[in-house]
Structure 1
């Protein structure tokens, strides 16, 4: 009886192992099928997002602002390097606008969109854009990381977005102190022959609620640019025209927090900014001499 019991136990154990072995392949196959399903869904989602991003400007055209001053000249170092098919490094320096808060995908931040635009226009050029944005910061915090975030990258161009957080916080003394900090940063870039574009605050409800502060900051950044002979992208005026001239409701280019842009806002901003660089390269290729220091607003 004992031997029969042992045999039964052994048979039962072998049967269990056999059943387990037979069950494993279907489980693995199911897992593989499930993984393929997830991968397919991810690809489809990416394609859908790309399609949505691609038709942004067919839904609402991205038009240049009207009446802004058009002064030739611009970004000699980066333009000459692109024209010569030499590698170009651009640092996008700033706060949450540079990080891309409000976009539906990291691919739709303004630095990434700008990189895509320039690479399409100059397919033989090796163009790198490094995102050095950090949310919530403005000039004082940015200058603390200036060396590591900007200078250590040895860029050909620095696009410096600033001012919005200081405006929203509403401290007049901080606005006044911004000038000296930005002048110092620009001077350090110029000492290395690096091109500079300053980006003033965005025109959004959180900023327009601080009308006096916003006006002061926009004026201050413009004055620093004139003093240091660097470029300014007049984002505040461009976005103001979207709302007041083109009659676009804020929710067409701003997310619900009333502060950050949406995919369309970032895309149009990047495209108009990229036009500045493209025009400069075109001037170099056409044989137009661009002085090393020329004050310019974005050609609209």
Structure 2
């Protein structure tokens, strides 16, 4: 008997929510926050950030950029936002869906940007947050890879006139890890971490 096909990109996670979501009201500047656990956890760790705003959280824990690229249409484009804030890449470096390269990660981010642009959606690209090590996959030495990937993202955003949100510089410690004030596990922000991130991204949103 054939094994049941898995929902590799977790397309079903927000399927019902997306169906129930009304189209944007006239004048509504809808903004989708699109990412992995760092985005998904934002709603629970710092709910005030989302309350009373036109922000929609479409983060899924553990996701890599190829998974996010597969769900970009249902979880971003079809929601008809004015802006999408993309934050991704650390799980790729952690090899959550297998070995990859920084060039492939950047390519997936570029593909998301191109899809957004083709559908009239403005993009904000975020830095990958610093991480000295991954608790679930220790020994991959991600710190330098994250720094290099961020430099690649910056170069792309400058060349293509895309706003870049730099969480990294505000949250990195002397080891190129995530400052312990802002995280318990060195990867995921706590409430203090999200308090730092909120004003940084909102300043960029305001400029758009």
Shorter-chain TM-score category?
Answer: 0.7 to 0.9
**Is the radius of gyration larger for structure 1 or structure 2?**
1
Alignment counterpart, residue 95 of structure 1, candidates 13, 31, 36: 36
1:160 to 2:68 alignment: no
Trace 1:1-300 onto structure 2 (pairs within 5 A).
Answer: 86-100=27-41, 106=44, 108=46, 113=49, 115-116=50-51, 127-169=53-95, 173-206=100-133, 209-240=141-172, 243-244=173-174, 250-255=179-184, 257-278=185-206, 280=207
Using the size of structure 2 for normalisation, the TM-score is 0.73
Offset of residue 163 of structure 1: 1.3
Structure 1 gap segments, 5+ residues each: 1-84, 120-126, 282-300
Q: How far apart, CA to CA, are the structure 2 residues paired with 1:143 and 1:156?
A: 18
Between Structure 1 and Structure 2, the one with more helix by share is: 1
Q: How far apart, CA to CA, are the structure 2 residues paired with 1:135 and 1:211?
A: 20
Residue deviations 1:254-290, cap 9 Å, x none? 11x2211111101211122112223x27xxxxxxxxx
State whether residues 206 and 258 of structure 1, in contact with CA within 8 Å, keep that contact through their aligned partners in structure 2: yes
Q: How far apart, CA to CA, are the structure 2 residues paired with 1:232 and 1:204?
A: 19
CA RMSD for the aligned pairs? Answer: 2.6
Secondary structure of residue in 1 paired with 2:57 = strand
Offset of residue 181 of structure 1: 1.7
Offset of residue 230 of structure 1: 0.7
Secondary structure of residue in 1 paired with 2:186 = coil
Secondary structure of residue in 2 paired with 1:88 = coil
State whether residues 187 and 228 of structure 1, in contact with CA within 8 Å, keep that contact through their aligned partners in structure 2: no
Q: How far apart, CA to CA, are the structure 1 residues paired with 2:182 and 2:160?
A: 32
Q: Which moved more, 1:220-229 or 1:168-177?
A: 168-177
Q: How far apart, CA to CA, are the structure 2 residues paired with 1:204 and 1:216?
A: 13
Using the size of structure 1 for normalisation, the TM-score is 0.52
Offset of residue 107 of structure 1: 6.0
Question: Measured at CA, do residues 212 and 131 of structure 1 come closer, stay the same or move farther in structure 2, by a change above 3 Å?
Answer: same
Count of residues in correspondence between the two structures: 174
